[in-house]
């Protein structure tokens, strides 16, 4: 099966790199890293065992890439407007597009642009960063939950799951809405709180006041999910997420890095869409609505300062 990776950063570089290292046919779209990776290869420094791909298939334009059976999209959602041009050269009739992205709503919006496209959601539980060209730093975890949104080709979906497992990635199939909202239980509190408090995950949980607030925010996400009919999620899931975070390496989530490097933050998909869906179900998320307002303030102030 042929893979294409759009967004070869901390997440796309890790999962695409794992597949390529396992001998899968993977083709990477690169931009700023293109020349460096073409000459030097792709390095993944991993807590599970580092590896180097000497001669990866790299491109700086999707029109030069072969059509793929699976396209892994690991772009930030702030760049999803590019997919209207990036995707078509990679697609054949039954291509599956796996969106490894944060937040609520990317699949329905992409489906509107490509009505017949097969889509799935990839929810990565991983601490990974890319701070220099051609090098991914995988700190801990790395499993992925995959929810089928509109893929009618069961064979492709099952092969994708099997290929991840063969590559050493723990992959689990979960119901689509369950996948999205379970990831939001971690993402919504920690992404925004690390920004507004200028702190890493361990610092937030070391303080009783912010730990209590994080837990309350998690319960708001769980309450919203339940109001929307999501199954297999209750307050015990918040306890599991807190425990997992306490055990992991001190971490700055993607939104914190985006803010620190003056890049657009994923407020719409991580916060606004989820809050709006909850409201439509008659459920309010007051703590997270306040966090959304704080993030919008910081985003606008940073935008004005950058003019």
The CA distance from 105 to 256, in Å, is 21
Contact between 93 and 25 (Cβ < 8 Å): no
Burial of residue 114 (CB within 10 Å: 0-12, 13-18, 19+) is middle
First to last CA, the chain: 46
Virtual torsion, Cα 276, 282, 283, 288, nearest 10 deg: 30
User: Catalytic site residue 183?
Assistant: yes
Cα distances (Å, whole numbers) of residue 272 to 146, 269, 302: 23, 6, 19
Cα–Cα distance measured from residue 24 to residue 276, given in angstroms and rounded to the nearest whole number: 40
DSSP 221-265: HHHHHHHTT--S--HHHHHHHHHHHHHSPP---HHHHHHHTT---
Determine contact, residues 38/118, Cβ cutoff 8 Å.
Answer: no
The residues pairing with 28 across neighbouring beta strands, listed in sequence order, are: 5, 58
Instruction: Choose the catalytic residue: 183, 231, 256, 307.
Output: 183
Backbone angles phi, psi at 171, to 5 degrees: -120, 135
Instruction: Enumerate the active-site residues.
Output: 183
């Amino acid at each position: 099966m042929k893979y294409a990776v759009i967004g070869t950063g901390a997440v796309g570089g890790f999962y695409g790199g794992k597949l390529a290292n396992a001998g899968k046919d993977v083709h990477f779209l690169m931009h700023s890293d293109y020349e460096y990776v073409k000459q030097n290869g792709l390095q993944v420094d991993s807590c599970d065992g580092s590896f180097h791909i000497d001669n990866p298939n790299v491109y700086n334009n999707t029109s030069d890439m072969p059509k793929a059976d699976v396209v892994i999209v690991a772009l930030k959602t702030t760049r999803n407007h590019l997919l209207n041009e990036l995707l078509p050269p990679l697609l054949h009739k039954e291509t599956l597009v796996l969106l490894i992205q944060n937040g609520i709503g990317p699949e329905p919006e992409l489906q509107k642009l490509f009505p017949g496209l097969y889509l799935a959601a990839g929810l990565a539980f991983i601490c990974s960063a890319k701070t220099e060209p051609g090098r991914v730093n995988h700190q801990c975890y790395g499993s992925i939950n995959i929810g089928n949104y509109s893929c009618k080709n069961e064979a492709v979906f099952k092969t994708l799951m099997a290929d991840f497992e063969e590559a050493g990635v723990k992959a689990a199939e979960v119901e689509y809405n369950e996948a999205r909202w379970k990831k939001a239980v971690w993402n919504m509190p920690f992404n925004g709180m690390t920004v507004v408090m200028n702190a890493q995950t361990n610092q937030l949980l070391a303080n009783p006041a912010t730990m209590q607030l994080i837990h309350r925010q998690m319960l708001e996400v769980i309450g919203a999910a339940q109001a929307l009919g999501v199954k297999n999620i209750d307050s015990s899931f918040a306890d599991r997420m807190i425990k997992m975070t306490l055990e992991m390496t001190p971490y700055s989530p993607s939104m914190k890095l985006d803010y620190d490097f003056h890049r657009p933050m994923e407020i719409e998909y991580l916060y606004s869409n989820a809050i709006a869906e909850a409201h439509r179900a008659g459920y309010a998320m007051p703590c997270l609505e306040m966090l959304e307002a704080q993030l919008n303030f910081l985003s606008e102030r940073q935008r004005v300062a950058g003019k």
